[in-house]
């Protein structure tokens, strides 16, 4: 029985519990806790006992039946191993198929069919189809992710005693079934309901089910001898298993984890998150509340561990302190390896471009986004070198971007307004952009990232960065305004004047306004999103490797909102932009690389990523003096004295 087996345990659905969900470390050891609390949430309301009467008097199930329903939902698992060779009783198999057949369907068309496959030779051929697609998927993954995938078992086609292909006939019901006219995809959605019914019934019967999706759908259809119009929706492996794990296997392996329920429930309007009967969720406030100071005990343990390693104390210099700080971030020593890593490139345009601060046309932002997605930019080359994944976030590009793999369409507005003529953003746009950054961090960590890397793209974004850095550090415009993409002296002088004029217009020549007000006045949509991205990583206790001047400006915003967020930040490099030096010095961060880079995109941070990972790997893999049988400094001194 799993740890989620007590469906009558009351759940905590207060803001404090949501903060706790945010604050869970992203390691596999946390997965069972998350799943157990999920089962508890499913069982809310059981404590009252007896049948529940609705407003019109219709009764719900009694307490025991309700408990059983919610338990089976909470304990359903997608299983890939542990199948027993014994046959599934025909009566039991019929019962779970009957449950599947009772699923709702558009127009009561029941577009599903169930093809039972037991023949070993056929299953071996089907496994070959899956293996080929599995290998192609593995080849597409970055190195760290591919290594983790290689350790996963993703199917049990041969081991499970029964395979079931669930198909969809989108023509069933004729030309005019009720409900399918405007939404033709509802046929496949109906079949998904049947699959879920089958899965839940199987769990109630003590049967494990695994859904295999590594197929070219038409190859599989041909092997199954299906007519051309029949689609394969699911291929299921079914059988008795040794045990049901306490959490999904992908969560236990560290591949992925669940989102909190409070982030997935919207009240009336998409983006207004609120659980029924509770206050609206303030993502920014909730995230900041979840950020904690570095764990002093874990850092002390890390320093003591460093002192026992087979190397002279302090010989790894700054890298030793990086490892110690990451132990404090994780609350454990050694800290988790910061891999896989994902660079998120937040792309947006800037209204201040109209002031002639750069010779580059604004269209370059969208063109470079296309280049990132095609894999042709420097950031792609560096990401490939270090085994990092690349995601591109359209937070405010002044163009319509076509859907593409790796593109996250999160546009708040088509660029900012001209900060010299008025606020660059409205207060609502700032909040939405910060929340988007928080969500992107949450989603990437939920998908398995264990290190976040900041990236950016936006013509004229160094102008907005200079204004932000001046506002937060109090330094004059001429001290923090650089040459960006390589402008000449005259343009540089003009750019300084533009930054100074914007600061004066908004009264930002001395520190004082609230961080989000400063952002609204002179910031960019990518700055706001990056600030949220940093806050989100800090709340999840995942390291965030910062790139150059745009990330530095965003980190100033994040630190002003929550100083403890800096505990998650590692300055990847020192940019050639003078504003970046001002930012990292103000933040008290030590850049790991200084190569006079000024490209952006996340390139400098990616070059530093192996240093961050190496600092932690030393803690895991280098022997101690005791374990290696090497004499420590004290013993050597005593022998030679």
**How long a stretch of residues is the chain?**
641
Q: Give 558's contacts (C-beta < 8 A, 6+ positions apart).
A: 530, 531, 532, 534, 535, 538, 565, 566
Tell me the HSE value of 194 on the side-chain side, using a 13 A CA sphere.
29
Q: Give 496's contacts (C-beta < 8 A, 6+ positions apart).
A: 477, 478, 481
| Spatial distance between the Cα atoms of 394 and 440, rounded to a whole number of angstroms | 11
| Other Cβ atoms within 10 Å of 131 Cβ, number | 14
First-to-last CA distance in the chain?
Answer: 63
Q: Which of 285, 601, 621, 635 is catalytic?
A: 601
Strands 544-546 and 389-396, by their bridges, are unpaired
Among candidate residues 20, 16, 23, 605, the one with its CA nearest the CA of residue 330: 23
Among candidate residues 193, 105, 212, the one with its CA nearest the CA of residue 155: 212
**302's tokens:** 């890390």
HEC letters along 578-589: HHHHHHHHHHCC
The C-alpha angle with vertex 377 and arms to 590 and 570, in degrees rounded to 5, equals 15
Sheet (strand 451-457) strand order: 407-409, 389-396, 341-348, 451-457, 544-546, 569-571
E strand or H helix that includes residue 347? strand 341-348
DSSP 517: H
| Spatial distance between the Cα atoms of 283 and 264, rounded to a whole number of angstroms | 12
Q: Is 210 helix (H, G, I), strand (E, B) or coil?
A: strand
| Spatial distance between the Cα atoms of 460 and 420, rounded to a whole number of angstroms | 13
405, exposed or middle or buried, with CB in 10 Å at 0-12, 13-18, 19+?
exposed
Beta bridge partners of residue 392, listed in sequence order:
345, 407
| Spatial distance between the Cα atoms of 459 and 495, rounded to a whole number of angstroms | 13
CB 32 within 8 A of CB 246: yes
Tell me the HSE value of 478 on the side-chain side, using a 13 A CA sphere.
2
Q: Is 456 helix (H, G, I), strand (E, B) or coil?
A: strand
- Mark whether 223 is an active-site residue: no
The crossing angle, in degrees rounded to 10, of helices 296-308 and 603-621 is: 70
Quickly list H helices, 481-524: 489-505, 515-522
CB 600 within 8 A of CB 550: yes
CB 117 within 8 A of CB 165: yes
CB 215 within 8 A of CB 129: yes
| Spatial distance between the Cα atoms of 192 and 100, rounded to a whole number of angstroms | 10
Scan for tokens 């600092």, then name that residue.
615
Among candidate residues 195, 145, 190, 148, the one with its CA nearest the CA of residue 169: 190
| Spatial distance between the Cα atoms of 290 and 535, rounded to a whole number of angstroms | 9
The catalytic residues are 601
């Amino acid at each position: 029985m799993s740890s989620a087996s007590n469906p009558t345990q009351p759940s905590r659905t207060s803001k404090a519990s949501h903060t706790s969900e945010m604050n869970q470390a992203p390691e596999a050891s946390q997965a069972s806790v998350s799943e157990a609390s999920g089962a508890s949430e499913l069982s809310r309301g059981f404590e009252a006992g007896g049948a529940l009467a609705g407003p019109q008097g219709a009764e719900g199930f009694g307490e025991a039946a309700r408990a059983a329903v919610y338990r089976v939902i909470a304990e359903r698992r997608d299983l890939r191993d542990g199948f027993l060779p014994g046959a599934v009783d025909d009566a039991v198999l019929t019962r779970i198929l009957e449950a599947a057949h009772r699923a709702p369907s558009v127009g009561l068309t029941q577009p599903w069919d169930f093809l039972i496959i037991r023949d070993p030779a056929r299953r071996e051929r089907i496994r070959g189809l899956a293996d080929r697609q599995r290998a192609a998927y593995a080849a597409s993954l970055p190195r760290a992710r591919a290594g983790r995938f290689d350790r996963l078992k993703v199917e049990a086609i041969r081991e499970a005693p029964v395979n079931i292909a669930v198909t969809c006939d989108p023509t069933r019901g004729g030309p005019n079934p009720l409900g399918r006219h405007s939404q033709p995809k509802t046929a496949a959605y109906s079949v998904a309901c049947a699959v879920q019914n089958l899965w839940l019934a199987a769990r109630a019967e003590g049967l494990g089910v695994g859904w295999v999706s590594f197929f070219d759908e038409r190859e599989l259809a041909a092997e199954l001898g299906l007519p051309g119009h029949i689609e394969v929706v699911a291929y299921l492996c079914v059988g008795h298993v040794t045990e049901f794990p306490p959490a999904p296997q992908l969560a236990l392996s560290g591949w992925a984890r669940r989102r909190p329920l409070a982030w997935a429930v919207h009240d009336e309007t998409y983006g207004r998150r609120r659980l029924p009967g509770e206050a609206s969720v303030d993502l920014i406030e909730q995230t900041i509340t979840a950020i904690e100071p570095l764990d002093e005990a874990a850092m002390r343990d890390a320093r003591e561990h460093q002192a026992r390693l087979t190397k002279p104390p302090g010989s790894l210099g700054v890298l030793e302190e990086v490892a110690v700080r990451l132990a404090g971030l994780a609350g454990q020593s050694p800290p988790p390896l910061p891999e896989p890593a994902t660079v998120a490139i937040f792309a947006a345009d800037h209204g201040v471009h109209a002031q002639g601060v750069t010779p580059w046309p604004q269209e370059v932002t969208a063109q470079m986004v296309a280049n990132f997605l095609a894999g042709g930019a420097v950031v792609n080359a560096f990401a490939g070198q270090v085994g990092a994944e690349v995601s591109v976030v359209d937070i405010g590009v002044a163009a319509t971007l076509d859907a593409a793999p790796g593109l996250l369409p999160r546009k708040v507005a088509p660029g900012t307004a001209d900060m010299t003529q008025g606020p660059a953003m409205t207060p609502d746009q700032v909040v939405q952009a910060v929340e988007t950054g928080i969500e992107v961090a949450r989603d990437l960590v939920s998908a398995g990232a264990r290190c976040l890397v900041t990236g950016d793209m936006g013509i004229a974004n160094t102008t907005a960065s200079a204004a932000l850095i001046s506002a937060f550090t109090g330094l004059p415009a001429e001290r923090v305004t650089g040459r960006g993409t390589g402008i000449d002296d005259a343009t540089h002088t003009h750019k300084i004047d533009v930054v100074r004029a914007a600061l004066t217009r908004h009264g930002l020549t001395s520190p004082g306004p609230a961080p989000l007000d400063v952002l609204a006045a002179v910031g960019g949509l990518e700055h706001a999103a990056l600030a949220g991205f940093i806050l989100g990583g800090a709340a999840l206790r995942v390291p965030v490797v910062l790139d150059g001047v745009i990330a530095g400006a965003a980190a100033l915003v994040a630190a002003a909102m929550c100083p403890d967020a800096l505990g998650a930040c590692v300055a990847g490099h020192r940019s050639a932009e003078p504003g970046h030096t001002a930012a990292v010095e103000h933040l008290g961060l030590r850049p790991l690389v200084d190569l006079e880079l000024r490209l952006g995109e996340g390139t400098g941070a990616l070059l530093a990523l192996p240093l961050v990972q190496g600092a932690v790997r030393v803690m895991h893999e280098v022997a101690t003096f005791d374990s290696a049988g090497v004499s420590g400094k004290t013993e050597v001194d005593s022998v030679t004295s």
